[in-house]
Structure 1
Amino acid sequence: MTTAGTTTSRVWFITGASRGLGRAFAEAALAAGDRVAAAARTGSALEELAAAHPGRVLPLPLDVTDRGAVHEAVDAAVAHFGRLDIVVNNAGTLSMGMIEEFTETEARTQLEVNFFGALWVSQAALPHLRAQRGGHLVQVSSIGGLAGFPLSGMYAASKFALEGMSEALAMEAAEFGVRVSILQPGGHWTDLYSAMANTTPIEAYAPLRAQLQAQWAEGSVDSEPALAAEALLTLVDAEEPPLRLLLGNMVYDLAFDLARAKMATWSAWEQTSRAAERAVPAPGSA
């Protein structure tokens, strides 16, 4: 793969690499001639990937919620390959339920993987990327990073947290030549929904659940993960990669609809908003 005027194969660190988008990302990187440190909770699928690409895949069993283990895995990848170029925070889970239904454990579990897991990987990778004065950190968000919807509000909370952290990180890391991008995929055929957790329903929400299930009964037409992988390669090959990249027609259109709706509301309430601020001297000053 040619990048930035060189022909040196790049080194990727990808979490959640055993299946779904993560597996597609790993396979696309390998097809491009790069090397991959593939991290996931289960190692069997990673071993299969390593066997198919001798010497170019480092399988790393990893629970991203274990901060110490994350640092060890990132350090092991650098020790094995000699550097890091692209880090993809892809590991994620989905917990479905109304906000009122979540127990403390269920709520914390959702954020532990989707937010804190990505935070730990980012913190572990940054010292290496800073020392190299370059690299690209890619955070895999979601349509849930654009808006919260019934039943997926806690998932959206985890992605909103990821995006807010990543915006700040992008400005901090830029000082060292490190780039940060946020992927916002729409629907892709992964096992996110088949492996999701569910809260214990509260009867009062039964009508809303029935309404949502009726909407979903029409089915879904999602995309192959390989298409998201193609977009990721385009992103990391770009000389000026964007902070955010929408993936898919539905999420693209939704992003613009949401932005327009927000701007319309802000405009309608402009007078009240501006009246809430009026500069005055500090209390107690002369």
Structure 2
Amino acid sequence: MTGASRGLGREIMRAALDAGQTVVATARSADAVRDGFEVYQDRLHPVALDITDAEAAKSVAAEIVKRFGKIDVLVNNAGYAELGFFETFTEAAVRRQFEVNLFGTMNVARAVVPHMRKRRSGLIVTISSVSGLVSNAGGSVYSASKFAVEGWMEGFAQELAPFGVRSLLVEPGMLRTDFMDGKSASFGSILIPDYAEAVARYRSFVDGANGNQPNDPKLLAARIVELASQDKAPARLIFGEDAQQWASEKVDKLREELAQSADRG
């Protein structure tokens, strides 16, 4: 799994270890993964990995297969959020968002999937977001990267299905992790007076929500581990009442727009 040093990734790692699984957990710092988990040292194998390095991802996957013989489950979790209004981001910041959330996730999948195809078995768990289904002001850049992940995995899953490789897209609502603080989130750096008031309100919302998110990452982690152990995991897991509500409203809106389009012939 990737992104195991904090947040949801750390909880998934803990849940898998508590369930008796052997976990190869990656992050940019292996020491950050290991810290506090020494009791699991016989089944936890921390590895340093920057997911934007495609060759490093291939090397790690090959070493795992050489040591353990197989990879049963890939949890593609690593990512971060650019939060703010689109025009306040530099081109470099937008590209970095995609480099990590989309292309980094692709790098790891590209490294692991050949081993799964060879065995005709495996499960890819991709941590997306309800923001991969619904976008809003202040989330356009982050949502764009997650919409891309959703489109890629939805098609890729169909390509892999004939080889016995399964896919689970996880779309959480707001989780009580450090995702919205400075460790994981980044904000636009360009000051535009027209957006000043709206940006201030959005930053106030983010600051107020940080640490007060409604959903427990431990519950989601346990659910992911439970589903990963089943032979028939669902294609999607939309987690949290907020995510369920936003996704339902999006579906209703799409139905309304479909009807309106049909009426106009």
TM over 0.5: yes
Aligned to 1:246: 238
Aligned to 2:24: 37
Aligned to 2:198: 208
1:123 CA displacement = 0.8
Q: Cα–Cα, structure 1 residues 109 and 161, in superposed 2: closer, same or farther, change >3 Å?
A: same
Aligned to 2:177: 190
1:207 CA displacement = 2.4
CA distance in 2, matches of 1:85, 1:31: 17
Contact residue 50 and residue 58 of structure 1 kept, 8 A: no
Aligned to 1:283: none
The 4+ residue runs of structure 1 with deviation greater than 4 A are 213-219
Aligned to 1:236: 228
Percent of pairs with identical residues: 35
1:213 CA displacement = 4.9
1:155 CA displacement = 0.4
Aligned to 1:162: 149
- What SS class does the counterpart of residue 64 from structure 1 fall into? coil
- What SS class does the counterpart of residue 35 from structure 2 fall into? helix
Q: What is the alpha-carbon root mean square deviation over aligned residues?
A: 1.7
| 1:122-179, Cα deviation, whole Å (9 max, x unpaired) | 1111111011110100100012111111111110010000010000111011111000
| Higher relative contact order (CA closer than 8 Å, sequence separation 6+) | 2
Which stretch of the first structure deviates more once superposed, 48-57 or 259-268? 48-57
Contact residue 134 and residue 246 of structure 2 kept, 8 A: no
Aligned to 1:77: 64
Amino acid at match of 1:203: P
| 1:58-90, Cα deviation, whole Å (9 max, x unpaired) | 111010011111111111221222210010000
1:187 CA displacement = 1.4
Contact residue 49 and residue 57 of structure 1 kept, 8 A: no
Contact residue 231 and residue 247 of structure 1 kept, 8 A: no
Q: How many pairs were matched up?
A: 260
Q: Which TM-score applies when normalising by structure 1? A: 0.86
CA distance in 2, matches of 1:160, 1:143: 9
Contact residue 58 and residue 77 of structure 1 kept, 8 A: no
In the alignment, which of 13, 38, 46 is matched to residue 33 of structure 2? 46
CA distance in 2, matches of 1:133, 1:149: 39
For structure 1, the 5+ residue unaligned runs are: 1-13, 275-286
5 Å-filtered alignment, 1:133-144, equals: 133-144=120-131
Q: Which TM-score applies when normalising by structure 2? A: 0.93
Amino acid at match of 1:226: K
CA distance in 2, matches of 1:216, 1:154: 15
- What SS class does the counterpart of residue 123 from structure 2 fall into? strand
CA distance in 2, matches of 1:154, 1:166: 19
Q: Which has the larger radius of gyration?
A: 1
Aligned to 2:87: 100
Aligned to 2:159: 172
